[in-house]
């Protein structure tokens, strides 16, 4: 059970079609298509569906992958990592623990200090600029 449980129809009333596709159908946006990939402003990246804080701009870096990338979440309890065996690969999917929205995947080819690359879909995030 998730803290936030909504039907597909309820999410469709609150989110764009692309957000619903990525967050709740485990879709992926095209690389280099979202402005968050190049965003250099300071602030917090939260789940676009439920607003849970997920990543800080302090952990964002340019991975060259075309998606916003971070080397660690704000709090490990805000994300859940799930083995993903789709598309003939074995990867680690990252979802929002509060609503279950698909955010992207995490890989072990990131920078120090964690060595992780949380490769997120920009459309699955919202940005709260620091004041």
Q: Give the tens place of pLDDT for each residue, 63-81.
A: 999 999 999 999 999 999 9
Residue 82: pLDDT over 90: yes
Over 80: is that where the pLDDT of 1 sits?
Answer: no
The verdict on whether residue 99 carries a ligand-binding annotation is: yes
Is 107 inside a domain boundary? yes
pLDDT on residue 14:
96
CA–CA separation, 124 and 120 (whole Å): 8
Whole-angstrom distance, CA of residue 53 vs CA of residue 108: 22
- State the pLDDT at residue 66: 97
Mean pLDDT for the stretch of residues 100-118: 98
Q: Domain tally for the chain?
A: 1
Q: Does 36 score more than 80 pLDDT?
A: yes
**What is the pLDDT averaged over residues 117-131?**
97
- Specify if 13 maps to a domain: yes
User: Partners of 102 in the beta sheet?
Assistant: 95
Domain encompassing residue 31: 8-129
In whole angstroms, give the CA distance from residue 127 to residue 41.
Answer: 9
- Confidence check: pLDDT of 90 > 90: yes
The answer to whether residues 126 and 51 touch, using CB atoms and an 8 Å cutoff, is yes
Q: Does any domain span residue 54?
A: yes
Q: At 35, which CATH number?
A: 2.170.150.20
Q: Does the annotation place 96 within a ligand binding site?
A: yes
Query: Residue 53 pairs with which residues in a beta bridge?
Result: 46
**Residue carrying the six token digits 């302090």:** 58
Q: Is the residue at 3 inside a domain?
A: no
In a domain, 1, yes or no: no
Please indicate, yes or no, if residue 2 is contained in any of the structural domains.
Answer: no
Average pLDDT over the chain, rounded to whole?
Answer: 97
Q: Tell whether the model's pLDDT for residue 120 goes beyond 90.
A: yes
The catalytically annotated residue of 20, 94, 106, 119 is 119
Q: Is 20 marked active-site?
A: no
């Amino acid at each position: 059970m998730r803290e936030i449980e909504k039907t597909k129809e309820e999410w469709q009333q609150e989110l764009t079609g692309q957000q619903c596709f990525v967050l709740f159908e485990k879709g992926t946006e095209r690389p280099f298509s979202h402005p968050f990939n190049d965003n250099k402003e300071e602030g917090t990246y939260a789940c676009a569906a439920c607003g849970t804080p997920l990543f800080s701009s302090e952990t964002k870096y340019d991975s060259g992958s075309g998606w916003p990338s971070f080397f660690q979440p704000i709090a490990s309890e805000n994300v859940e990592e799930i083995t993903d065996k789709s598309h003939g690969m074995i990867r680690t999917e990252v979802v929002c623990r509060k609503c279950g929205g698909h955010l992207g995947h995490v890989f072990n080819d990131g920078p120090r200090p964690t060595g992780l690359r949380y490769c997120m879909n920009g459309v699955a995030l919202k940005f709260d600029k620091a004041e």
